[in-house]
Amino acid sequence: MKKILIAFGGNALLRNGDDSTFDSQLRRATEAFERIAGIILDNNVIITHGNGPQVGNILLQNETSQKVTKPMPLHACGAMSQGLIGEILAEAYDSVKLKHGLMKEASVILTRTVVDKDDPAFINPSKPIGPYYDRETADHLMETRKWQMKEEPNKGYRRIVPSPVPMDIVERSAIFNCLNDGFMPICTGGGGIPVVKSQRGYMGVDAVIDKDLASSLLARILEVDRFVILTDVNGVYRNYGNPNQELISKISAKDLEKELESGMFPKGSMGPKVMAALDFARSTGKQAVIGSLDDAGKVIEGETGTLIQ
């Protein structure tokens, strides 16, 4: 029995063409658990997940209902998305348990991720979030809410927030004990709620943390045997999107690092996954895999996808 951390990508809840209703997301999540049920049966599994579209919708609800209820800060919206996705994943998991003979219970853990208040990302926010606004509304928001906004050609203005490096997981012991007691933790959703150390404890900050980097950190803290990133492509490609694209099936951390440094992987998508896998493989000497959710069983066994060691 191995300890395996599985990070679900956006496609575990929503796919192109899906509406974002609760029921659609529940259906996708159920499909995702169907694919990894065998792995959960034979191993100790920790699930983490993204929250991009869900927190985007919560932010939109926040902004459009301002006249009725007070908007909540971004970190609180992150917390709401963890609760929402936690419910969807727990309900989906429960619905496949009986069929697959799974006795293990899922436990959703609201997770806070510690970031450094002096992280350079706070001086240079770069991550766009939430809806697009026209110039006038953007000016108003910059003045009244002190938001930083950036124009995207032909689309309008969008809020940009810092994406600092995850340093620690506040609920690390809770997750560890939950796993050791035989539960399947569902945690660190959306990379965790970003917090900084304060005099009395921790304080939420308006930022977003990359879910793959936070998952990698948790995988190292929990000393898992394998770190798995499930997404919507078959693995990491060289020259992705070009006629000469080529799937990397097995690569050493050292060689992958060279490819990353050459600028092969874009910052917004495959870059952080590669970095997350590299951080894990380098510091533990164990394997990380990146592959498609649709082939989850084979990816986790290292039979397909990109294996980094």
Does residue 305 interact with Mg ion by CB under 5 A? no
Query: What is the closest distance, in whole angstroms, from the C-beta atom of residue 43 to ligand ADP in the complex?
Result: 21
Find, among 201, 206, 200, 176, the residue nearest to 188 by Cα: 176
Q: Which does 270 bind (CB under 5 to 8 A by kind): ligand ADP, Mg ion, none?
A: ligand ADP
Query: What is the closest distance, in whole angstroms, from the C-beta atom of residue 61 to ligand ADP in the complex?
Result: 21
Does residue 51 interact with ligand ADP by CB under 6 A? no
DSSP line for 236-278? -EETTTSTT-EE--EE-HHHHHHHHHTT-S-TTTHHHHHHHHH
- The residue annotated as part of the active site, out of 211, 235, 291, 305, is 211
Does residue 249 interact with ligand ADP by CB under 6 A? no
Query: Judged by CB, which is closer to ligand ADP: 77, or 270?
Result: 270
Is position 97 annotated as part of the catalytic site? no
Query: What is the closest distance, in whole angstroms, from the C-beta atom of residue 239 to ligand ADP in the complex?
Result: 8
- The residue annotated as part of the active site, out of 50, 78, 127, 305, is 127
Bridge-partner residues for 229, per DSSP? 7, 290
Is position 11 annotated as part of the catalytic site? yes
- The residue annotated as part of the active site, out of 86, 273, 291, 305, is 273
**Contact status, residue 133 vs residue 155, Cβ threshold 8 Å:** no
251 Cα distance to chain centroid: 23
Q: Which residue is nearest to ligand ADP (CB)?
A: 9
Element (H, E) at 291: strand 287-292
Is position 2 annotated as part of the catalytic site? no
1-40 mask for Mg ion (x: CB under 5 A)? ---------x------------------------------
Does residue 231 interact with ligand ADP by CB under 6 A? yes
Within the chain, how many helices (H) and strands (E) appear? 9, 17
CA distance 309 to 301: 14
Alpha-helix residue ranges (DSSP H) falling in the chain: 22-42, 52-64, 74-100, 135-144, 172-180, 211-221, 253-261, 270-284, 296-301
**Contact status, residue 224 vs residue 287, Cβ threshold 8 Å:** no
Q: Which does 246 bind (CB under 5 to 8 A by kind): Mg ion, ligand ADP, none?
A: none
The site for ligand ADP (CB under 6 A) is made up of 9-11, 50, 231-233, 236-237, 240, 265-266, 269-270
The site for Mg ion (CB under 5 A) is made up of 10
Residues classed as catalytic: 10-11, 127, 211, 273
